[in-house]
Chains A and B, each alone.
Chain A
Amino acid sequence: MSEPVLKVENLVKYFPVRSGLLHKIVAHVKAVDKVSFDVQKGEIFGLIGESGSGKSTVAKTIVQIYNPTSGMIYFKGQNLSKLTKQTIGRFRREVQMVFQDPKSSLNPRRSVMSILEDPLIIHGIGKSRVERKRIIHTLLGQVEMPSRYMYKYPSALSGGERQRIAIARALAVNPSFLVLDEPTSALDVSVQAKLINLFLRLKKELALSYLFITHNLSLVRTIAARAGVMYLGKIYELGTMEMLFSHPVHPYTKTLIAATPVVSKEEERVKPREMSKEGEIPSPVNPPSGCAFHPRCSIAESRCSQELPSPVKVGPGHLVWCHRAEELAVRAEELVVLE
């Protein structure tokens, strides 16, 4: 395998919880706790998980909105914690982000023109206003928007149109890597499909790599090559899409897949039966001991609540963090044999 574009190693991000008159730190929200994965060039890597599993924090730490508590992020071999004022500009031009809700990620007080001109001015792309206007014209074309939208304000646009503007803004600096934080989940289903096609087309035309964060399994299944399943700030299973969907090993992955609606009988047949569904995701301030999933797991043993599971390799590039991974993997194989 070649050098990955993005490499995340043992990423940790804690947010302090302050209380009292002196704002003493009383606890930490363990939003991301030792997450490692990598994204290859030209790949779409999916990060799956429920609300509150820390997916967005991973995204915002990668694009340097947050500083990691510990751990390393490498982009094209460069350690992001070693970015200086000189090199951060280049990093910003390479890595951009599209946020979940375009309503809050676009300034309501600025016109589309002003929003799209910002990255050009910051990075000195386009020397004159006329030139910048021409670039914006091209950008709007790339996201399939008519140029007359340039002078509109976000309030005059639909959700899908707003998200296209947000995509155009990210593309303005000509990046090679996009972090997409649930870019379609705030939109109508019909609009989602169009945007996904847009993402796929842009990836091909502009040779982009994506980190695609979502809670929509069917979506990630169609577009991503590999994915990691996150739960309470940790990745519990990581592998290719095929592995995850046809041989899911971790009980949590199975729960997620079992909860996905399917259309055909064939799909229904391969859906995992055992489901652990009780309860909501626990608080990341005080996560359960051992394997954080054990209170909701139907096959948990005593050691699950005491020891942290270490990764088990159950297939090529398929890692599972579960104490019972080996026996579950065997059963998953049997399932395939049966079919």
Chain B
Amino acid sequence: MSTRASHHQVTTGLNETRWMIIKDRLGRGWYKFRRNPISLVGGVMVLLCVFLAIFAPYVTPYPKHAGAFTDFQNAFQAPSKSHWLGTDALGCDVFTRIIFGSRISLMLTAVVLGISVPVGVFLGLISGYMGGKTETVIMRVTDVFLSLPALVMALAICAAFTPSIDKAMLAVASIWWTWHCRLVNGITRSIKTEEFVQASKVLGASPLRIIFKDILPNCASPVIVKITLDAGFVILVGAGLSFLGLGAQPPAEDLGTMISFGAKYLPERWWMTVFPSLAIFFIILGFNLLGDGLRDVLAVEEGV
């Protein structure tokens, strides 16, 4: 009985230590992140966007103005107390539509990266680890995709079907995986020659075990940083598609669509274009600053 009790004590003791170490690691990461004011600003900007997008119906003054809504009596109003950022050609409140529009942008980012990152990372791992013909085939396909500008490729795909936001997401996702594939392929190729991979082989680990337990964790931080930096670009490509009429279709309240419609009324009714543009600028800047900050934090965690 006594040995059992002591063993129990040992285990509880260990759990406490585990918590302390996790807390310590998180604490150190947070400290580094906090000390970098720019990344903190980026983080706050991104969080603010996400918060506003989620609670859009509650934080906007005219939630009804999102989607199909017309109030021609109030059309083309300049920014005022009742309409902070003015109203558009249909009399919709621009501020409300911008907040609802960021929902679409963030959704686009989440879906595109949610599809393309796992695919790209998986193909990168397989090609980098297997080498030989598998790698040649995967990487040459990747090269072909990479040689085409993302926007042009997305345009071609969107134009081939009836334009819609779903098609736009698929189009962007179908090209975006290549960047992650290339990144992870490079890391895998260098990691697989490391001695800890050889040690795993000596222990009898299967290739899949080595790929997911030894190589994947070493790809995590560059991929996370790339995801944050990508988020901005994906929003930009999505807005670009909408601007050209190949993304979200009116009356959907998309930032790109708003800019495209407002552009007809420049420069007199500038608020219809300038404010949605500033919103895109704000989101992208937030993600990029956050990405830079994360890069520092994760580099520290690697700690030598």
Cβ-defined contact, A151 with B17, below 8 A: yes
State how many residues of chain A have any CB contact under 8 Å with chain B: 40
Cβ-defined contact, B10 with A104, below 8 A: no
Residues of B within 8 A of A60 (CB): 198
B299 at the interface (CB under 8 A from A): no
Do A130 and B11 contact each other (CB < 8 Å), given the known contacts A108-B302, A110-B217?
A: yes
Residues of B within 8 A of A97 (CB): 199, 202
Cβ-defined contact, B204 with A123, below 8 A: yes
Cβ-defined contact, B304 with A155, below 8 A: yes
A127 at the interface (CB under 8 A from B): no
Cβ-defined contact, A65 with B201, below 8 A: yes
Q: What residue of chain B has the Cβ atom nearest to residue A108's Cβ?
A: B302
Residues of B within 8 A of A213 (CB): none
Specify which of B196, B217, B302 is in contact with A155 (CB 8 Å cutoff).
Answer: B302
Q: In residues 150-199 of chain A, which contact B (Cβ within 8 Å)?
A: 150-153, 155-156, 166, 169, 172-173
B148 at the interface (CB under 8 A from A): no
Q: In residues 90-142 of chain A, which contact B (Cβ within 8 Å)?
A: 92-93, 96-97, 99, 101, 104-110, 114, 118-119, 122-123, 130, 133-134, 137
Cβ-defined contact, B199 with A109, below 8 A: no
Cβ-defined contact, A63 with B10, below 8 A: no
Cβ-defined contact, B14 with A151, below 8 A: yes
Residues of A within 8 A of B200 (CB): 118
Q: In residues 54-90 of chain A, which contact B (Cβ within 8 Å)?
A: 60, 63-65, 88-89
User: Given the complex of chains A and B, what is the CA–CA distance between A298 and B278 in angstroms?
Assistant: 80
Do A105 and B220 contact each other (CB < 8 Å), given the known contacts A147-B14, A151-B17?
A: no
State how many angstroms separate the Cβ of A140 from the closest Cβ of chain B.
Answer: 11
User: Given the complex of chains A and B, what is the CA–CA distance between A281 and B232 in angstroms?
Assistant: 55
Q: Is the interface of A mostly helix, strand, loop or mixed?
A: helix
B260 at the interface (CB under 8 A from A): no
User: Given the complex of chains A and B, what is the CA–CA distance between A114 and B212 in angstroms?
Assistant: 13
State how many angstroms separate the Cβ of A78 from the closest Cβ of chain B.
Answer: 16
User: Given the complex of chains A and B, what is the CA–CA distance between A151 and B13 in angstroms?
Assistant: 12
Cβ-defined contact, B204 with A88, below 8 A: yes
Residues of B within 8 A of A104 (CB): 194-196
User: Given the complex of chains A and B, what is the CA–CA distance between A137 and B13 in angstroms?
Assistant: 12
Contact with A along B1-29 (1 / 0, CB 8 A): 00000010011011001100110000000
Q: What residue of chain B has the Cβ atom nearest to residue A101's Cβ?
A: B195
A265 at the interface (CB under 8 A from B): no
User: Given the complex of chains A and B, what is the CA–CA distance between A64 and B214 in angstroms?
Assistant: 19
Q: What residue of chain A has the Cβ atom nearest to residue B191's Cβ?
A: A107
A269 at the interface (CB under 8 A from B): no
Cβ-defined contact, A150 with B199, below 8 A: no
A24 at the interface (CB under 8 A from B): no
Specify which of B11, B17, B18, B217 is in contact with A109 (CB 8 Å cutoff).
Answer: B217
Contact with A along B266-286 (1 / 0, CB 8 A): 000000000000000000000
Cβ-defined contact, A122 with B203, below 8 A: yes
Cβ-defined contact, A109 with B220, below 8 A: yes
Contact with B along A231-262 (1 / 0, CB 8 A): 00000000000000000000000000000000
Q: Pick from A60, A105, A153 the residue with the most CB of B within 10 Å.
A: A105
Cβ-defined contact, B14 with A107, below 8 A: no
Do A151 and B21 contact each other (CB < 8 Å), given the known contacts A65-B198, A104-B194, A109-B217?
A: yes
Cβ-defined contact, B17 with A148, below 8 A: yes
B218 at the interface (CB under 8 A from A): yes
B209 at the interface (CB under 8 A from A): yes
State how many angstroms separate the Cβ of B192 from the closest Cβ of chain A.
Answer: 12
Cβ-defined contact, B213 with A118, below 8 A: yes
Residues of A within 8 A of B201 (CB): 64-65
State how many angstroms separate the Cβ of A168 from the closest Cβ of chain B.
Answer: 12
Q: What residue of chain A has the Cβ atom nearest to residue B204's Cβ?
A: A92
State how many angstroms separate the Cβ of A23 from the closest Cβ of chain B.
Answer: 11
Cβ-defined contact, A92 with B195, below 8 A: no
Cβ-defined contact, B198 with A133, below 8 A: no
Q: What residue of chain A has the Cβ atom nearest to residue B194's Cβ?
A: A104
B149 at the interface (CB under 8 A from A): no
User: Given the complex of chains A and B, what is the CA–CA distance between A153 and B213 in angstroms?
Assistant: 15
6 cross-chain CB contacts under 8 A? A65-B201, A65-B202, A99-B198, A106-B196, A110-B214, A122-B203
Q: A63-B202, A104-B194, A105-B195 are in contact. List 17 more A-B contacts (CB 8 A).
A: A65-B201, A89-B204, A106-B199, A107-B218, A108-B302, A109-B218, A110-B214, A114-B213, A118-B205, A118-B209, A122-B203, A122-B204, A148-B14, A151-B18, A151-B21, A156-B303, A166-B199
